[in-house]
Chain A
């Protein structure tokens, strides 16, 4: 091992391979630049869907919405995930990164892909939304950009896998890979499947757009496209759950309740990933109910089970760590005494709550074959996935950034006061935003729709006043969340480019217990349970989980009741 190629972070004890470090920084910076584009478009979309403002003309709105979708759902998240993959392999395994040149080639392809795709949309002839459903045509460069980006990301996945092989070969760690790296591996495996599915559908679509193939079946497109479109969100889930575990470890020195359970839950994501992503096709013609029911649940919803497990074990591990530090009063002292002023923690915890309570529950409910009839393509759907992808993934990545600024970029976090409130502004803003969208969706307000008043339509329709109220709340809370997102970008850019270097004695700006120097958690004889109540290691977390289940059951029942009120259909 060439020692000169490594540096050890004096505060965290993490060891960075310099070529990997530069790649992580570049991917993270590119990701934040895309987030800025996504954020500007988010503001324009929000201000247009806010009925009292209705900012953009229709053509501009659909164009900007397309930009917002591709940049946020694909480019921002996957680019940041590349940084996470390199961190979880090279840094956590204290190993050199495999083939940095290939990783740079991947980075270049991703960057070119982003530019080509965005240019096509900005050109005005690719306002086809992220899904680009055939046979609505787009400028061929729209698909070409996506393909280039996907190839670049695939190279990044291979570099990650190669690094795991090198680490094993060179014995840079003992035993098994850390849980967080295991989570990243899960994300990587799903990413390879996702990108392969993307190739299967986007390459023919590209050929169709240049006139080489004359027909692409709309139903086939949807089936295969969603193996890209949904699985890519499964990458996010695996990645942000890994980030949750990482933050629990970083802030609290928490260790998993049991490696077995957490790893099995990650494995369930791979095994029960909705391969055909059937829940997007529940009201499509040409597919049988048997196919829909089986493929939306695999008879037992084991991917949902996996998320419910992580939802318990992540806060559970924090509770155990806090109890071991002496916060043992009552059921929730461990949570009250958590560092709520540290955005690394507060962002992660809001991400967990928002993902579970809002994104998770709504996702399962609307993914029920019959309930989908009252939800499909209403604005309820973006309500759901903003809770999973924005509160879940984006906020988790934001909180990780506050840790990476000192550790990876060697800079102090600037504007710490703003950084402190940022997760609350963004997270709570998004929570209100997503729930208001779901409320409007339940009243039949449509997604991807410029004018809920139908001003120019030959046959109009009047939504109830409450739908307008909900959309007004969507507008206000959306702007609040965008301010939260802007705060993140401001803090990150100022810190990274203009921040004071972290000196040997300086701090993160936030109290974050260090990794190697964290007090080892002493588990009393008799295992975890001795520290908890009722024979449970984490009784407070269990109570929260039961509360979650009650909300879930209630909301599930309410939706069946609502479904029962619509016209009989068979």
Chain B
């Protein structure tokens, strides 16, 4: 009987497996288990893992921390809007603000140094997409994500918003300059 008719045998569950099915199921199961194990293994041996560090916050509280960092470490301003370029010391906490429609402030980080990058949104959901290195994360209002990053390539990076956030979404960009250590 075909697949659109009731099974021919009343006790179809006792029909033995064909070898082709049994063999394939065994192979596919091994592959599935392997793919699962790769994820914990990469946490142990791999270098690219998101931290699990995140905090609840409010736009006001987060903005205050970002503003304090900007006040302390701004090295110059850029663009017609005089956006601050901030160069925080290696190893320090860096606060990046996502808001309609910019990533603020611009950052200047040293190649090969690690930074604790905090990111949060002041309003809607945003997407942190660092290009061309291609690192992507979801940024939510009310949540402060912390990510320890180590820029190990010399190219300057542009931060693009990759979560749709309204009419100016495609203009929401930011910058991370990578400089050689002093």
Q: Which residues of B contact A (CB under 8 A)?
A: 1-10, 12-13, 15-21, 23-25, 27-29, 31-33, 35-36, 38-40, 42-43, 46-52, 54, 79-81, 83, 102, 106, 123-125, 127, 129, 131-145, 147-153, 158, 160, 162-167, 169-175
Quote the shortest CB–CB distance from A261 to chain B (angstroms). Answer: 5
Q: State how many angstroms separate the Cβ of A109 from the closest Cβ of chain B.
A: 29
Instruction: Say whether B123 contacts A450, CB under 8 Å.
Output: no
Partner of B175, one of A133, A255, A459: A459
- CB of B142 within 8 A of CB of A301, answer no
Which one of A229-237, A244-252, A337-345 is at the B interface? Answer: A244-252
CB distance from A219 to the nearest CB of B (A): 6
Interface residue from B18, B46, B125, B131 paired with A537 (Cβ < 8 Å): B18
A136 at the interface (CB under 8 A from B): yes
Contact B173 A248 (CB under 8 A): no
Which residues of A have CB within 8 Å of B21?
A: 257-258, 261, 309, 312-313, 316
CB-based contact A539/B20 at 8 Å:
yes
Q: Is the CB of B167 within 8 A of A62?
A: yes
Report the minimum CB–CB distance from B117 to chain A (whole Å).
Answer: 9
A324 to chain B, nearest CB (A): 12
Is the Cβ of B46 less than 8 Å from the Cβ of A518?
A: no
- A3–B145 Cα distance when bound, in Å, is 66
Q: Are A308 and B28 in contact (CB under 8 A)?
A: yes
Task: Out of B4, B38, B102, B133, name the residue touching A246 (CB < 8 Å).
Answer: B4
A531 to B122, CA, bound (A): 66
Q: Which residues of B contact A560 (CB under 8 A)?
A: 38, 42
CB under 8 Å from chain B, chain A span 335-393:
364, 368-370, 372-378
Give CA–CA (A245, B127) in the complex, Å.
Answer: 40
**CB distance A219 to B137 under 8 Å?**
no
Of A76-84, A431-439, A441-449, A493-501, the one contacting chain B is A441-449
Asked whether A374 and B28 contact (CB < 8 A) given A461-B173, A563-B48, A569-B150, the answer is no
* Best-buried of A59, A364, A446 by chain B (most CB within 10 Å): A446
Q: B171 and A458: CB pair below 8 A? A: yes
**B2 lies within 8 A of A569 (CB):** no
Contact status A255-B1, CB under 8 Å: yes
- Additional A-B contacts beyond A136-B165, A222-B138, A254-B2 (17; CB < 8 A): A136-B166, A175-B9, A178-B3, A218-B143, A254-B3, A258-B16, A259-B15, A286-B143, A289-B50, A301-B36, A305-B28, A309-B21, A373-B50, A374-B134, A448-B163, A460-B173, A563-B48
CB distance from B116 to the nearest CB of A (A): 10
Chain B residues lying within 8 Å of A173, measured Cβ to Cβ, are: 6
Instruction: Determine the main DSSP class of A at the interface with B.
Output: loop
Fill in one digit per residue for A192-235: 1 if any B CB lies within 8 Å of its CB, else 0.
Answer: 00000000000000000000000001110010000000000000
**Is A529 an interface residue, CB under 8 A from the partner?**
yes
- Cross-chain contact B27 with A549 (CB below 8 angstroms): yes
- CB neighbours (8 Å) of B139 from chain A are 285
B96 to chain A, nearest CB (A): 13
Q: Within the complex, what minimum Cβ distance (angstroms) separates A454 from chain B?
A: 6
Known contacts being A135-B124, A313-B21, A518-B2, is A283 close to B171, with CB within 8 Å? no
A46-72 interface with B by 8 A CB criterion: 58-59, 62
Q: Is A528 an interface residue (CB 8 A)?
A: yes
A454 CA to B8 CA in the complex, in Å?
62
In the complex, the answer to whether A305 meets B138 with C-beta atoms within 8 Å is no
Task: List the 6 closest pairs (A to B, CB-CB), nearest first.
Answer: A249-B2, A285-B54, A285-B145, A301-B32, A461-B158, A259-B12
Q: Would you give 17 A-B contacts (Cβ < 8 Å), ordered by A?
A: A62-B166, A62-B169, A174-B6, A179-B4, A256-B3, A258-B21, A283-B138, A286-B143, A300-B29, A305-B32, A444-B134, A448-B163, A454-B170, A458-B81, A532-B20, A537-B19, A542-B20
Give Cα A256 to B83, complex, Å.
Answer: 65
- Per the bound structure, the CA–CA distance linking A38 and B127 in Å amounts to 26
CB distance from A497 to the nearest CB of B (A): 27
Roughly how many angstroms separate A306 CA and B129 CA in the complex, as a whole number?
Answer: 33
Closest to B43 in A: A289
* Closest Cβ neighbor of B29 among chain A residues: A305
Check A556 for interface membership: any CB of B closer than 8 A: yes
Give Cα A95–Cα B152 distance, bound, in whole angstroms.
67
The docked-state distance in angstroms from the alpha carbon of A526 to that of B80 is: 81
Chain B residue nearest in CB terms to A317 = B3
Query: Nearest Cβ distance between residue A477 and chain B, in whole angstroms?
Result: 23
- A176 on the interface (CB 8 Å rule)? yes
Q: A136-B165, A255-B2 are contacts. A461–B160 as well, Cβ < 8 Å?
A: yes
* B39–A370 CB distance below 8 A: yes
Which residue on chain B has the smallest CB distance to residue A374?
B134
Say whether B20 contacts A316, CB under 8 Å.
Answer: yes
